[in-house]
């Protein structure tokens, strides 16, 4: 590990030709959205997200699963992007201005990267603000918050389910293709705010490294990725990402 890891990371970011970032719930934690593996507080503290985020749970109790997701949809709608989200927008802008490529892969379904202003976002696990008909696959954004009833019947006689990827479900084909292309072609891969335990999302770091990219992790706690990356910065993404942008691009004004 370099003697000044933050400066070394900033040097990599400044010189990178093509950057691919993957984010997880840790980036949104500073927008007060609970992560998956930290204890859920309040109304849902007794439920384990990993048991509710499944097709089986929805089939068994569509009303309860719909209400849980609608509760979280409301939390996400109330949340605001934090300095970590905004720093990623700045990185995208700086690279675009320099004619370099940037792709932001996210496991988060809260939409905060888009609301912060990121445009090159690949939402690997879908979007919590969209409901989808179980019969036709038709998507319904902008439904009233909260929904008038749980579960919501669809016009086609099915039910409306959350537009997110559940455990055991395949990721959207186009998102996977974009993620593979970005991970294979980047010369710098950054893993930010994720425990790096859920595949295929956690595999993109390995794919990037296999193609010779440098890698940086920014995370509050050590993860399975920590021992693999070139530079591991431990701490809060809302602090480290802005500091990294400042060091990497400040001299360019």
Residues 6+ apart with CB under 8 A from 240: 6, 84, 218, 233
What is the nearest approach in angstroms of ligand OAD to the Cβ of residue 62?
A: 17
- 143, 86 contact by CB (below 8 A): no
Taken as a whole, the chain contains a residue count of 253
Residues 6+ apart with CB under 8 A from 38: 29
Among 31, 103, 134, 194, binds ligand OAD (CB under 6 A): 194
Instruction: Kindly name the residue from 3, 85, 113, 125 that is annotated as catalytic.
Output: 125
Among 11, 36, 44, 243, binds ligand OAD (CB under 6 A): 36
User: Site mask, ligand OAD, residues 126-165, x = CB under 6 A?
Assistant: ---------------------------------------x
- 193, 36 contact by CB (below 8 A): no
Cα–Cα dist 84/12, whole Å: 18
Q: Is 44 near ligand OAD (CB under 6 A)?
A: no
What is the nearest approach in angstroms of ligand OAD to the Cβ of residue 177?
A: 18
By CB under 6 A, which span of 8-16, 21-29, 39-47, 177-185 interacts with ligand OAD?
21-29
Instruction: Please list the active-site residues.
Output: 125
């Amino acid at each position: 590990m370099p003697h000044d890891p933050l400066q070394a990371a900033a040097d990599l970011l400044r010189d990178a030709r093509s950057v691919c970032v993957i984010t997880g719930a840790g980036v949104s934690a500073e927008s007060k959205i609970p992560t998956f593996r930290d204890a859920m507080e309040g109304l849902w503290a007794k439920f384990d997200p990993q048991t509710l985020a499944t097709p089986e749970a929805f089939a068994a109790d569509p009303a309860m699963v719909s209400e849980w997701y609608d509760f979280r949809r409301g939390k996400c709608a109330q949340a605001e992007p934090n300095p970590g989200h905004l720093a990623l927008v700045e990185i995208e802008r700086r690279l675009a201005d320099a004619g370099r490529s940037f792709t932001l892969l996210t496991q988060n379904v809260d939409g905060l990267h888009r609301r912060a202003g990121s445009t090159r976002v690949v939402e690997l696990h879908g979007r919590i603000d969209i409901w989808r008909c179980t019969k036709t696959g038709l998507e319904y954004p902008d439904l009233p918050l909260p929904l008038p009833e749980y579960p919501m019947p669809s016009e086609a006689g099915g039910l409306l389910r959350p537009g997110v990827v559940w455990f055991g479900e395949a990721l959207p084909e186009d998102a996977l293709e974009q993620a593979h292309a970005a991970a294979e072609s980047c010369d710098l891969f950054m893993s930010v705010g994720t425990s790096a335990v859920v595949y295929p999302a956690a595999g993109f770091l390995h794919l990037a490294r296999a193609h010779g990219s440098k890698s940086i992790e920014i995370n509050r706690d050590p993860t399975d990725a920590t021992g693999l990356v070139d530079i591991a910065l431990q701490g809060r993404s809302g602090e480290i990402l802005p500091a990294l942008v400042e060091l990497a691009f400040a001299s360019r004004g």
